[in-house]
Structure 1
């Protein structure tokens, strides 16, 4: 393995966690690897795949992501095929011919493409030893970036004869980890979690009182911070506003969002990756898996929906291990944008009823119903909501899929009440999403160590309570100004007895003083210059 590592990839040693994942895969164990951005997740399937017979199928959520990974394999002389919507008819047929002849060790595709029965049949002509799911958090209905197309993957693994599965992600709460195994039908997955902490990332929050002040902050931070960086927004409109302001200030910037044409997105991505543009302004459509080592800052212009999304996106900074800044611009009204998105996210009783009725009608005509035929018959139901409705019908044992991924109604006489009950599961999901948004707001307003808040959200314990690198650790806030409704959702903190009145204490950057009062998590201190300030107790040390 060491020889292969050096000969094929030019590397002398593995990073922490990689060896454990690779050994698990080679032992043919279904594995979920939770590793931070920059930890080398791709090598965890590339290296063992060279030691396993048959093909390796890699499912990636974004075409730009698979393009980046496939090119890196080809650069070291390994065969890699990409099958996605960017290929012309002739190009696709050439690639499919080579796959039929078993010319490719690696096959990269999207979850949408691999769900096509004809393409799946092409892959099945040769043995598949390893099935890799990149950005595996997209599988989970409890995850921050849930993609309904991923719900097909459990059936696809079964159709391929149950090859070894390796699922990879940088972020996963306990709920998401459990749900990934459930959705894949693999309750025995081995979970290898190397933790999320990266000491080179320095988190900070800059508060704005209105839109114009927020835009000024974005321009100032982009201008004053050296190196390349990404500015994330929640909407396409904000992308255009920020890009215009940066260019007006004379800064080198380009943009990326889902409403752009494929060619323009590719050109803009290439400009950023090559350094021709210093700053990328983008929605979350950009960046997943992009291997640009020298990103020195990631600025969030609008509040993300939750801490999982925030960590995933901010973690694209500093992949080379050098110090990088992760900055959130916090304007209170940005919360409303995410609330709007949440309200439109899930299927309702009407959606599931329309899907069920369409399956009844199409099934009466032709028997098994393909996804393509169902999509053609449902103009009024968004594709994402349709796929979730299908999953709910399968969970309710009203529907099953065969090896060709066609749908069969198990019962064609379900009552409206039964269908409504299937949708009720999303009331829970919606409540959790709103709670996650509250936790995101808490992070933006808290006076606690920002890394500590992130770690506690992901259920990780560390011995320290201050990272020493975030804004709250570098300059402790005088008091926590979180509203009561946000403070209610704060990560639980251990309450210890505070310093007593009159005791000598010290606070970083302020020096020594004496306690005037202590109540709850607040300590008021009088300093020798007669100033009196209030701090969170965690930042106060006894002398």
Structure 2
């Protein structure tokens, strides 16, 4: 067959496939046409390519695996980090008549037995599971009995060391997928820098992934930052904001304590609000989520435990009480507003002490070279006695947290000191284990901590920036939007910081300036005074210029010499 004839055959097959897709869209999913990027991702998946889809929150990533699941022969496995996310997706698919099931710790023994029976019979088109469950040998053995057409990794940034929500449980997935015979992979995320994209491919062992990036820009989201000077002002401004906002909204707090205090303030003021954080009992979390999703409660006050994959399209505002750790997290969380395409407000309350709070969170205890050696020595000792699975290693080294142990085992695999067979048992390789190699492997996470600190600095820079908020986000993610100059809807576009006009006398050009004392420095959030404008709050300082927010005059910029402490 000539190249020309093969191309004609390919084009004909793709045209027939498009017809099938359009029919499914209308008859099953009630959708008239695919959005930007969805067709590219679906075509890539149906062509059998490993695919990484980077699509904005609310852009319909779920359809990118739901359509192929109805077309491909075999079962689609969807790995999702949160049980609440699975529940949300499963209910929607059940309503559409799609045969889907979940396997996770929320099921009773009877429910799990029924789910596994359906999986073994190849009854279900889509199976949802957590990364922990995918790596369970008994679950893997059941999946090996059926044809797995596709493995979908939702919130794929969680697999990357450089991702904003790295989770050790994701590290075991690559070995599990390989044990299933390396079916095609579809990785989905709303945000990924170049480093994260490269690391996702490396962690999955899929170096030739087809990357479809539709960009992050969503013009219906209007960003703004409000500077506050203490916690009392923070809560007062938050209450005012919620009371002045119409529609449904989410208030994010960085700590459980702040979330509970904010809820008490809102409820005390007569607002319809509920609470979600990881320390609540599972039944209470579920009930509160249901009340918010159904509209029984107007406002959800939550930590970042709430929201990943939650789809409530009519969310009109997202308010952050405190500074997130990085711009990826902020974009993901604020992006839960306005999924219906209508205008929505995304507001950050910024207090300079928030940076110290996030710095505290960043002090994570990553594995040291000594930890790696201890794990390696333990595996070597156990290997002489028989099979070595994760549970056995975990039992032997119970002084190490499970998450840290998973990181150690993955690093030892990356260093070629260990490998896993199709039963996910660890096998010691002949490679020599030197102290220098352990040091080299542990240094990866030292670099991660440094990157985390840099990401926090960039989040602070966004909070104090006088530039278009969307421009800052687009530059950070290296996303180019054709013809974009500024959004014209954020706080800085609507009320640009004014640069003070400085009068320069002619005689000043006739002599060289004499060196004087260094300009004073003012931290963001500081109360200062400027003649004619009275007292204001420092928003940002760049060089010798200070941007100040005045209650009656908005933001203006002055030389630091004209500013004095209030």
The reply on whether 1:54 has 2:78 as its aligned counterpart is no
8 A Cα contact 2:190 2:332, kept in partner: yes
Q: Deviations over 1:184-243 (max 9, x none)?
A: 110110000000000010000011111111111111111111111111111111111111
8 A Cα contact 1:445 1:482, kept in partner: no
Kindly report structure 1 stretches of 4+ aligned residues shifted beyond 3 Å.
Answer: 479-486, 519-524, 532-536
**Residue matched to 1:338:** 358
The reply on whether 1:208 has 2:228 as its aligned counterpart is yes
Q: Deviations over 1:483-537 (max 9, x none)?
A: 8999xxxxxxxxxxxxxxxxxxxxxxxxxxxxxxxx999899xxxxxxx96599x
Equivalent-residue separation in structure 2 for 1:49 and 1:473 (angstroms): 44
Cα distance, 1:417 vs. partner?
3.8
**Residue matched to 1:418:** 437
Report the 3-state secondary structure (helix = DSSP H, G, I; strand = E; otherwise coil) of the residue aligned with 1:58.
strand
How many corresponding residue pairs?
Answer: 496
Equivalent-residue separation in structure 2 for 1:350 and 1:283 (angstroms): 34
**Residue matched to 1:513:** none
Q: Counterparts of 1:65-464 in structure 2 under 5 Å?
A: 65-366=85-386, 368-411=387-430, 414-462=433-481, 463-464=483-484
Which segment is superposed worse, 32-41 or 243-252? 243-252
Cα distance, 1:418 vs. partner?
2.7
Which segment is superposed worse, 266-275 or 147-156? 147-156
Q: Deviations over 1:166-200 (max 9, x none)?
A: 11110000110111111111011000000000001
Equivalent-residue separation in structure 1 for 2:169 and 2:464 (angstroms): 35
Which segment is superposed worse, 415-424 or 236-245? 415-424
Cα distance, 1:324 vs. partner?
0.6
Report the 3-state secondary structure (helix = DSSP H, G, I; strand = E; otherwise coil) of the residue aligned with 2:266.
helix
Equivalent-residue separation in structure 2 for 1:300 and 1:354 (angstroms): 42
**Residue matched to 1:33:** 53
Equivalent-residue separation in structure 1 for 2:259 and 2:223 (angstroms): 22
Equivalent-residue separation in structure 2 for 1:221 and 1:479 (angstroms): 28
Q: Which runs of 5+ in 2 are unaligned?
A: 1-20, 501-518, 525-541, 548-554, 560-566
Report the 3-state secondary structure (helix = DSSP H, G, I; strand = E; otherwise coil) of the residue aligned with 1:322.
coil
Report the 3-state secondary structure (helix = DSSP H, G, I; strand = E; otherwise coil) of the residue aligned with 1:452.
helix
Cα distance, 1:245 vs. partner?
1.3
Cα distance, 1:453 vs. partner?
0.3
Equivalent-residue separation in structure 1 for 2:214 and 2:240 (angstroms): 36
- TM-score under structure 1 length normalisation: 0.87
CA RMSD of aligned residues (A): 2.4
Cα distance, 1:348 vs. partner?
2.3
Report the 3-state secondary structure (helix = DSSP H, G, I; strand = E; otherwise coil) of the residue aligned with 1:332.
coil
Report the 3-state secondary structure (helix = DSSP H, G, I; strand = E; otherwise coil) of the residue aligned with 1:38.
coil
Equivalent-residue separation in structure 2 for 1:275 and 1:400 (angstroms): 50
Q: Deviations over 1:67-108 (max 9, x none)?
A: 111111111111111000111122111111111111111100
Structure whose alpha-carbon radius of gyration is higher = 2
**Residue matched to 1:42:** 62
Report the 3-state secondary structure (helix = DSSP H, G, I; strand = E; otherwise coil) of the residue aligned with 1:327.
strand
Which segment is superposed worse, 477-486 or 249-258? 477-486
Q: Which runs of 5+ in 1 are unaligned?
A: 487-518, 525-531, 537-543
